[in-house]
Amino acid sequence: MAHFKRSLGIGLWFMFLTLPLMVVRVNTISREVEWRWYNLAWAGLCAFVIAWFWQFSIERRTARRAQVAANPHPAVEKLSLVQRLADDPVLSRRLLAVAAVVAIIFPWLVSTGQNFYHVNVMVSALIFVVLGLGLNITVGLAGLLDLGYIAFFAVGAYTYALLSKNFDLGFWTCLPLGGLMSMLFGVILGFPILRLRGDYLAIVTLGFASITKIVLENWDTLFGGAAGIANIPRPEFFGMALDSRQKSVYTYYIVLALVAVTIFVTNRLKNSRAGRAWMALREDEIASVAMGVDMARTKLSAYALGAFWAGLVGVVFAAHNNFINPDSFTFMDSAMILAMVVLGGMGSILGVIIAALALKLLPEYLRAFAEYRMLVFGAVMVLMMIFRPQGLINNMRRKYEYDTAQGGKDNGGN
Amino acid sequence: MAATKGEKLLEVSGLSMDFGGLRAIDNIGFELFAGEIVALIGPNGAGKTTVFNCITGIYEPTMGDVTIHPPGGTCRRINGMKPNSITSLGMARTFQNIRLFPAMTVLENVMIGRHCRTGSTIIDAILSSRRSRREEKETVDKSYRLLQKVGLADVADEFSRNLSYGAQRRLEIARALATDPFLLLLDEPAAGMNPQETHELDELIVRIRAEEQVAILLIEHDMKLVMNISDRIYVMEYGKEIAQGTPREIKENPKVIEAYLGEEVHA
Ligand SMILES: Nc1ncnc2c1ncn2[C@@H]1O[C@H](COP(=O)(O)OP(=O)(O)OP(=O)(O)O)[C@@H](O)[C@H]1O
Ligand SMILES: [Mg+2]
């Protein structure tokens, strides 16, 4: 009943607020004032329903919190659907196989003749998947808030552009070089700043990204200034000539392979000595160093490895676009990649992939709503932070196999 | 790492620590021998935790020397060393305000303790090299065995944030033991435990000393526990050392009784 009253109040309040905007319209031709009262009813009704739903959700969440607080030691935490899927090896393997097959035949499904628009869209999206997964190592696993991740992407892209332009080096030579170059930048930058924490680190990385962009924009002789660098060669395929559709499909498979490798590596690292040390540092720095984790080295490795992926995929980006300029490497892109990691769920591979695809593909296909994009984006962010702060998918922890026999008393193993 | 009984492990002399104008600890000196359980007691704010922080490298002491004599190793002065280096030399600690890794499982928390005793690199992990696989297995086995020892084996796969207070404190002990220390520093391990849990902890500490061959330096407010298990006790007040001796001597020391207003010591 209290909900009803409050929702009613909110509904009325919105009717009042939106009155001048939604109801009154001056028809300039017939010089009449139109009164669109039905709009008022809509505004009131919508506000009422949303307010009701909102209160209902908040209440449910509070109830759940209280329940958790009352029972601090639950026998089992409630498992999410994904967690249950992951615990079922047969099913998850099948799903993975299906996803892989769909990904592989995708270009043949959506491209006919010379129409390969969807393939190109997918290449851009997958590039961001790799970026998301790379940043996931730095932010999600190691907890180093990096607001300038796009700078490493730029380093990779410009490495390829310059090497191919000035030294005629091919794509496949430049791919590792771009990655290593970014990594080098990561290490050089990381040494002095990784002692900083949280906000301070975020600000310095933000500054680094801005500096990178300014240098790229103003050093015309080397980087081509704001105009950028054009005519970057596409990936070569054993010296064969490909038409533009084939080139796109070929690039698609290259990025897809990169995605697969990134997933594989992240997955291996997550449950390794290094990955656990990253997570420990994320959880509690003092406890980690007191347990023997070398903070400087561990942080640096996470930072450099994240930069490596950005550089790698930066090379692909330059090759795919034929053309790069500093406008592709703005703060908005850094923020977008960070949003992928946060929305997907820090440290969760699947979550980051889903979030990256959603954030890149939805705006592309919902062009009709392009004007509302940032609005929706902001609303989604706020709602997520309130109702699902841990992200779409919880970071799942592996259950290790252990020999329960040794000490006798136990039954907890698998 | 087994040390012969009576061998000196740790020597602290003239240790002082200033925070701005506040001298939190003032000219503290003590030593610790193999096989001992030594307690450090004193009223709130006496500077006990600060002593731990100075010994384990969290703070760099303003003055004084901390010297360790690892069994079978050479003696070293460790002031100013990084905490992780000190841990790999063989000293491990727990925290008064529990510092676990909440989003990691109980088993993984202990596995972090093995970090400084293993060496697989990122490349090893990616390629799943033989070294990495062997170390992973050893790490899991050893960690699980420690969980069994502290009675947490059946919650090995739970997130550590879901454990009860007492269980979290025991988990901290297991994690510290995973670093293969010769000296274990426990900062108020019984804080927040009920009498039953405290009693079990009492047995656990004694058992750990015997089975893991570690010496133990203990900060604790629960006098019953301290008097039960310590071989020797140092008492601090306002950063200064005011007494030392066996539990019996401490109980009868007038200065100590005064510091504690004569109440708890007789518990
Ligand atoms: N990082 C710090 N900065 C400033 N002052 C500090 C710091 N750490 C400790 N102190 C001060 O040093 C004194 C000793 O604190 P410490 O935590 O060592 O006491 P304690 O004996 O462990 O007390 P308790 O029994 O409450 O744990 C206190 O006055 C405290 O305020
Ligand atoms: Mg203390």
Nearest-CA residue of chain A relative to B122? Answer: A274
Give me the total of CB pairs closer than 8 Å, taking one residue from chain A and one from chain B. 153
- Per DSSP, helices labelled H in B68-192 are 83-89, 106-113, 122-127, 130-150, 165-177
Tokens of B142: 């050893």
Among residues A135, A79, A414, A397, which one has the least CA distance to residue A267?
Answer: A397
Nearest-CA residue of chain A relative to B133? Answer: A272
Backbone angles phi, psi at A327, to 5 degrees: -70, -15
B56 min Cα distance to partner chain A (Å): 7
A125 min Cα distance to partner chain B (Å): 25
Q: Give the model's pLDDT for residue A414.
A: 35
Contact state of B149 with A407 under an 8 Å Cβ cutoff: yes
Give me ligand 1 centre to Cα B108, in Å.
Answer: 30
Please determine, for residue B61, whether its predicted confidence score (pLDDT) is greater than 50.
yes
Contact state of B122 with A269 under an 8 Å Cβ cutoff: yes
Cα–Cα distance list, B106 to A166, A413, B156, B238 (Å)? 54, 13, 5, 37
Residue B232 is inside which H or E element, if any? strand B232-237
Contact state of A409 with B141 under an 8 Å Cβ cutoff: no
pLDDT of B67-85, one tens digit each? 999 888 788 888 889 999 9
Q: Which residue has the tokens 């008097």?
A: B227
Q: Give the model's pLDDT for residue A202.
A: 86
Nearest-CA residue of chain B relative to A412? Answer: B154
Please determine, for residue A389, whether its predicted confidence score (pLDDT) is greater than 60.
yes
Sign of CA dihedral A175, A181, A184, A188: negative
Portion 68-127 of B in contact with A at CB < 8 A: 82-84, 87-88, 92-93, 95, 99-105, 107-108, 111-118, 120-122, 124-126
pLDDT of A103-145, one tens digit each? 887 777 776 666 778 888 889 999 999 999 999 999 988 888 8
For ligand 1, atom 24: residue with the closest CA: B44
Q: Are A209 and A151 in contact (CB under 8 A)?
A: yes
Backbone angles phi, psi at A240, to 5 degrees: -85, 150
Q: Give the model's pLDDT for residue A111.
A: 67
Q: What angle do CA A253, A255, A259 make, to 5 degrees?
A: 115
Q: Which residue has the tokens 């004599």?
A: B69
Portion 157-176 of B in contact with A at CB < 8 A: 157-159, 162-164, 175-176
Q: Mean pLDDT across the stretch B136-143?
A: 91
Find the ligand nearest to B187 CA: 2
Give me ligand 2 centre to Cα B98, in Å.
Answer: 12
Give me ligand 1 centre to Cα B224, in Å.
Answer: 24
Hey, of A183, A281, A291, A300, which one would you mutate to test binding to chain B, going by the most B CBs within 10 A of its CB?
A: A291
Q: Using DSSP, how many helices (H) and how many strands (E) does chain A show?
A: 16, 2
Nearest-CA residue of chain B relative to A267? Answer: B126
Which of B17, B18, B25, B49 maximizes ligand 1 atoms within 8 Å of its Cβ, making it the mutation to test the pocket?
B49
3-state secondary structure A78-132: CCCHHHHHHHCHHHHHHHHHHHHHHHHHHHHHHCECCECHHHHHHHHHHHHHHHH
Contact state of B141 with A402 under an 8 Å Cβ cutoff: yes
Among residues B170, B157, B42, which one has the least CA distance to residue B98?
Answer: B170
Query: What is the residue-averaged pLDDT of chain B?
Result: 88
Find the ligand nearest to B95 CA: 2
Instruction: Determine what percent of chain A is predicted with pLDDT higher than 70.
Output: 88
Instruction: Determine what percent of chain B is predicted with pLDDT higher than 70.
Output: 96
Pocket around ligand 1: residues whose beta carbon is below 6 Å from it?
A: B 19, 22, 24, 42, 44-50, 96
Interface predicted TM-score of the whole assembly (ipTM), two decimals: 0.90
Query: Which chain A residues are within 8 Å of B118, Cβ to Cβ?
Result: 273
Give the nearest partner residue to A407 out of B101, B145, B162, using CB atoms.
Answer: B145
User: Atom of ligand 1 at shortest distance to CA of B19?
Assistant: 4
CA–centroid distance for A398 within its chain: 22
B128 at the A interface (CB within 8 A)?
yes
Banded model confidence at residue B8, pLDDT cuts 50, 70, 90: confident
Compute the half-sphere exposure of residue A410: CA atoms within 13 Å on the CB side of its CA.
24
Q: Mean pLDDT across the stretch A273-296?
A: 92
Query: What is the residue-averaged pLDDT of chain A?
Result: 82
Type of residue at B244: Q
Which phi-psi region, left, alpha or beta, contains residue B114 (left: φ > 0; alpha: ψ -120 to 50)? Answer: alpha
For ligand 1, atom 25: residue with the closest CA: B44
Kindly report each contact of residues B170-173 with a partner whose C-beta sits within 8 Å and lies 24 or more positions away, as own/partner.
B170/B201, B170/B204, B171/B100, B171/B106, B171/B109, B171/B110, B171/B147, B172/B94, B172/B95, B172/B98, B172/B99, B172/B100, B173/B94, B173/B204, B173/B208
Give the nearest partner residue to A74 out of B83, B112, B162, using CB atoms.
Answer: B162
Please determine, for residue B262, whether its predicted confidence score (pLDDT) is greater than 70.
no
Q: Give the model's pLDDT for residue A158.
A: 93
Q: Is A400 exposed, middle or buried (0-12, 13-18, 19+ CB in 10 A)?
A: buried
- Alpha-carbon distance of B10 to B86, in angstroms, equals 12
Contact state of B164 with A401 under an 8 Å Cβ cutoff: no
B149 at the A interface (CB within 8 A)?
yes
- Alpha-carbon distance of B225 to B222, in angstroms, equals 6
pLDDT of B161-213, one tens digit each? 888 888 999 999 999 999 999 999 999 999 888 888 899 999 999 999 988 88
B87 min Cα distance to partner chain A (Å): 5
pLDDT of A173-227, one tens digit each? 889 999 999 999 999 988 888 777 778 888 888 998 999 999 988 888 888 877 8
Q: Which of A128-142, A364-378, B103-117, B188-202 has the lowest mean pLDDT?
A: A364-378
Tokens of A139: 């932010």
Q: Mean pLDDT across the stretch B38-52?
A: 91
Give the nearest partner residue to B154 out of A268, A289, A410, using CB atoms.
Answer: A410
pLDDT of A68-115, one tens digit each? 666 655 545 555 666 666 666 677 778 888 888 888 877 777 766 667
Type of residue at B36: E
Strand ranges across the sheet with B183-187: B91-93, B183-187, B215-219, B37-41, B232-237, B240-245
Compute the half-sphere exposure of residue B96: CA atoms within 13 Å on the CB side of its CA.
15
